[in-house]
Structure 1
Amino acid sequence: MRKSIGLLAGVAAIALTSTTVQSQEAVGIVLNWTPGADHAPIYYAKQQGWYEEAGINLTIDAGSGSAMSAQSVGVGKHAIGIAELGTAFVARSMGADVVAVMSLYAQAPFAFYWKKSSGIETVADFAGHTIGNPPADAARVMWPAFAEAAGLAVDSVSFVNVTPQAKVATLAADQVDIISDFYNGHDLKVETFGDDLGFVRWSELGLNPYGNSFIVNADFLENNRDTVAAFVRVTQRAYSECVANIDPCIDALTESASGLERGEMNKHWTRVKELMADEFTTTEALGYLDADRVAQTYELVETYFDIQTPFDPADAFTSEFLDTNLKMVAP
């Protein structure tokens, strides 16, 4: 009798395990770029088994820019992705039906950098100088907005084509006078140029569109709301945990992605935390997307990008899956 009971228990355990495995939803996320400090919480949550516990078998793929990740999510190749929100809006207007469900960079990450020894002290001195960045760089496309906010003529600068990897070296070699870059890489410029470094964040001039955000394929969201809700809850929890203690998160990142230097990742994370915090993420919920700021981001994009098919930005985001008990800590 005991053997029969034991056998039945074993069969039940195997059946339960089989059911658990089968219940795992295969979900792919594509990053906006190669893995970095801003992605560490995702790797940490995966390492801890949090996605698996929530019924998600998550695969993480490196990206090659927000445009690519938005397109991939838009066509359903990936269910979830990370993309700069303005770029995601452009993609949506071109048929990529994506919906933002959580902000990563609540603050605009755009910044301009220069060497003070070039004669530039403030933004007012940009006129007559060269700016190095790729042709499709968001900072170049939205230059008219920056120029207007800074009181500069749109044609007061010249642009030079520079690859993302060559920006700092090109500035150091005096081949350009100014470069654009994301603020999360700020410390490399500080280390390279020291007291000679000048910079301005776009947000300082009142240009503060949402930056990188988590986006979801709209069809996937409609048919898998529970899965999306679970993903957002786990991801929000992971970012909250990593804000409190980044060490295990950087461990998980460097164990999963090769070629990353721990010290640099810690510096990047410090800047990421600054970008994650705004008046809404610190009072409403970590990752919160505010309707008015989303509308302002859309308005900026509509003005300076090619919006092929206009849409209501209210239909392109939701904060409903966020846990309001988890709030961002002000830096």
Structure 2
Amino acid sequence: MKRMLTSSAAVVAGLAVVLTSAACGDAAGAKGGGKEKVTLMLNFYPYGDHVPYYFGKKKGIFDRHGIDLKIVPGKGSNAVAQAVAAGKADFGVVDTAAVLTSVDAGVKVKSIGSFFQTSPSAVQFFNGSGIAKPQDLKGRTVALTSGDPYADVLPAFLKANGVPAGEVKTVNVQPAAKIAAVISGKADALVGFISDQGPTITEKTGKPTGYLLFSDWGVKTLGAGLVASDRALAKDSKLAASLWKATSESFAAAVKEPDAAVASMEGASPSLPAQKVLAEQWKRASRLLHTQRTGSAAPGVNDEADWNDTIKLFAGLGVLKSARPAATYWKPVGR
């Protein structure tokens, strides 16, 4: 498999979608012990992608930046973007594709930095299935979720690799059903994040999984990062800058100390994956923190060209109305 990602070594150099207004009133903008109380809403239930946030909280990194961090789960990037815009959470973890589509739909948020700068989106399958390259998907069935922006990328992935879309059958299922579809044999593969479904399938079945990462095969897009509301950024961007810096340091620390970082998630959620699954999820995710343009930079430092490439791709797919300037969606707040 082609590999265009920066190595981990380079990186080193409840369950509600929306919090109640009352709950956020206790957190947003409040002071506690000389620190700012901040609510961060994750894009989903806690899993391996979120290791750095919990590790940074446990190590006191957020405290050192004057932030008393509260982490809460979400149920999808689009819903989280809306919650942040509505003031129901101070910041959110949102996939870049959802930032683009949300802003296009009038949601008043901006990314303050993508931390997974290579998207974890991929076609995933059991090892031994006979799938080793995109051409092997001909005649196969792929499970995906309609409305997921990265499901919309599948045609571009197939086209980039000379696979006629009509030769690959797709089945539309709910997000949680994609894993079951592959395990049961109803689908040969699924479209999802390599840092999520693959390790979970292996734990459930004892069978290893493989993947075709879109970015390895000619379709490069930014992944998830932090968002803030336009209102909050206009009022005072200093808090966003502090959160960005603390998050960047937390990601670097989690890469340097992966075992301790994974252990820091203990008790984060009743539905938390097993520790060995979390470890594999973070191992996969930690390889995705940079692009070729940002390999020597700190985690979360984005290059405008990467944003423009991502915007152009989604506009070309018709997911966005037009390719608007990167500043429409992204406001860098720190270095």
Q: 1:133, 1:167 within 8 Å by CA — same for their partners in 2?
A: yes
Q: Does 1:203 pair with 2:215?
A: yes
Partner amino acid, structure 2, of 1:61: V
Q: Which residue of 2 aligns with 1:255?
A: 267
Match of 1:270 in 2: 283
Aligned to 1:104: 115
User: Among 61, 86, 105, which residue is 1:75 paired with?
Assistant: 86
> For residues 22-101 of structure 1, what are the structure 2 equivalents within 5 Å?
23-101=34-112
Q: State yes or no: 1:242 paired with 2:266.
A: no
Equivalent in the alignment of 1:232: 244
CA shift for structure 1 position 201: 1.0
1:116 is displaced (CA, Å) by: 6.6
Q: Does 1:219 align with 2:231?
A: yes
Aligned to 2:315: 302
Match in the other structure for 1:16: none
Q: CA contact under 8 A between 1:110 and 1:183: conserved in structure 2?
A: yes
> Which residue of structure 1 aligns with residue 154 of structure 2?
143
- Structure 2: segments with no counterpart, 5+ residues: 1-29
In the superposition, relative to structure 1, how do residues 94 and 223 fare at CA in structure 2: closer, same or farther (>3 Å)?
A: same
Contact 2:43 2:93 in 1 (8 A): yes
Question: Shift of residue 45 of structure 1?
Answer: 2.4
Q: CA RMSD in A?
A: 2.6
Bigger Cα displacement from structure 2, 171-180 vs 52-61: 52-61
- Aligned residue for 2:302, secondary structure, equals coil
Per the normalisation by structure 2, the TM-score is 0.81
Structure 1 segments of 4+ aligned residues over 6 angstroms from their partners = none
Question: 2 CA distance for matches of 1:77 and 1:100?
Answer: 17
Aligned mates of 2:194, 2:126 — CA distance in 1:
16
Report the secondary structure of 2:320's partner residue.
Answer: coil
Q: How much does 1:280 deviate?
A: 3.9
Query: Is 1:161 paired with 2:172?
Result: yes
Q: Counterparts of 1:174-193 in structure 2 under 5 Å?
A: 174-185=185-196, 186-189=198-201, 192=205
Q: Deviations over 1:66-106 (max 9, x none)?
A: 11112222333222111110111110011112222222211
Q: Which has the larger radius of gyration?
A: 1
2:327 corresponds, among 307, 310, 314, to 314
Say whether the 8 Å CA contact 1:141–1:305 is kept in structure 2: no
After TM superposition, give the deviation of residue 309 of structure 1 in Å: 7.2
Q: 1:73 to 1:214 in 2, by over 3 A?
A: same
Once residues 57 and 128 of structure 2 are traced to their aligned partners in structure 1, the CA distance between those partners, rounded to angstroms, is: 46
Counterpart of 2:136?
A: 125
1:228 is displaced (CA, Å) by 1.1
Which runs of 5 or more structure 1 residues have no equivalent in the other structure?
1-18, 323-331
User: Conserved in 2, the CA contact under 8 Å of 1:131 and 1:177?
Assistant: yes
* CA deviation after TM superposition for structure 1 residue 115, in Å: 4.6
CA–CA distance in structure 1, aligned partners of residues 296 and 148 of structure 2: 32
* CA 265–296 in structure 1, closer or farther in 2 if over 3 Å, else same: same
| Number of aligned positions between the proteins | 303
- Counterpart of 1:164 in 2: which secondary structure? coil
**What percentage of residue pairs aligned between the two structures are identical?**
24
Residues 115, 193 of structure 1: 8 Å contact kept:
no
State the 1:320 CA deviation.
Answer: 4.2
